[in-house]
Amino acid sequence: SVQPVSLEAVVSTQSTGDSDMEEDETFKSLYVAQILEAKSRIFETMCKETGCTDNAQLRLETLCKSKITKNTLAEWLETVCRIFDAYASPVLSTACTLETEMGRLKSERIEDQKKIIELQEKIIEKKDLEMDNVKKEMKTAVQSEIKSYSSVLKTTCSKALAPRKVQAALKTAAAEEDRSKSLVIYGIEEKKEEKLEETVLDILSHLDEKPRIVSCCRLGRDNVQGEAVTRKPVRVNLSGSDHVRQILQKKRKLRSVEGYTTVYLCPDRTTEQRVTHKNLVDEMKRKRLSEPEKHHFIRNNLVVSVSSGT
């Protein structure tokens, strides 16, 4: 005989009842799990009693078998209706409510973002207006100052811009420009019939540089008989200041090149700059003697001292 599944057995796994669902309409995954469990148990019982292997086979012809009594069918129907009415419907209703609420919150968020953007645009517009007012005030003040000093400047500028002073300033600027395209090399051995340009190119090749040499020559007077023999420095003029800068950045590589370990490259400095640099070098040497535990070097026309481990 067929033993109908009881409603209490199907829903016994549910720890929360109708009252709990009514009191707390929050969409919880626990409710969904309970509904699925109840559905599985009722369909499992129905398939077992009707001889079906899966839920899709539960049709009218399988449910109308003679061994399935009217009372059993009523029990199944009651259980299914209870699941839908007391459990599935509230959860679906809650889900719909949540979806509606989420849509409302999303719309409100979009509106809030629009308001924020509008406020930002107004703030930017206000700042631009304030900046324009400040510029106008500054322009007015500058123009006023220019007018007040115009008479004084007219007299002083005529003296300051005398032809000789202008020529001297232009000459100084041109000299500085020329020096930026040249460098000085110390320590090249002097020979009677030397080929300076070839020697300089060989030195620069060890620095992976092949610039175009405009000119190169020795600096200073020739050695006089009886005096100590010195190696006069060589000034090298290149086609551009970029080449000079790149070469000076790589000059330390010569320390490891055989035959050129005593060769030293430096910028083409003026007399005043050479005096200043010499004083810095002397100061650095003194610090190396007084503070041997530190590392001393010249940077930005200053002697910098740092700990050896730094």
In the prediction, which pLDDT does 245 show? 92
Three-state DSSP class for residue 298: strand
What type of residue sits at position 248?
L
CA distance 187 to 263: 5
In contact, 18 and 67? CB cutoff 8 Å: no
Residue 14: count of CB within 10 angstroms of its CB = 20
Mean pLDDT in the chain?
Answer: 79
Tell me if the pTM is above 0.75.
no
pLDDT tens-digit map of 43-56: 888 888 888 888 88
In the prediction, which pLDDT does 97 show? 78
Among the ranges given (12-21, 105-114, 296-305), the one the predictor scored with the smallest mean pLDDT:
12-21
Examine the pLDDT at 286 and tell me if it is beyond 90: yes
pLDDT tens-digit map of 237-272: 999 889 899 999 998 888 888 888 889 899 988 888
CA distance 151 to 254: 59
Q: Which of 8-22, 64-78, 274-288 has the highest mean pLDDT?
A: 274-288
The arithmetic mean of pLDDT across residues 189-201, rounded, is 87
Q: How confident is the model at residue 222 (pLDDT cuts 50, 70, 90)?
A: confident
Task: List the end-to-end C-alpha distance of the chain, in Å, as a whole number.
Answer: 93
Percentage of the chain beyond pLDDT 90 is 16
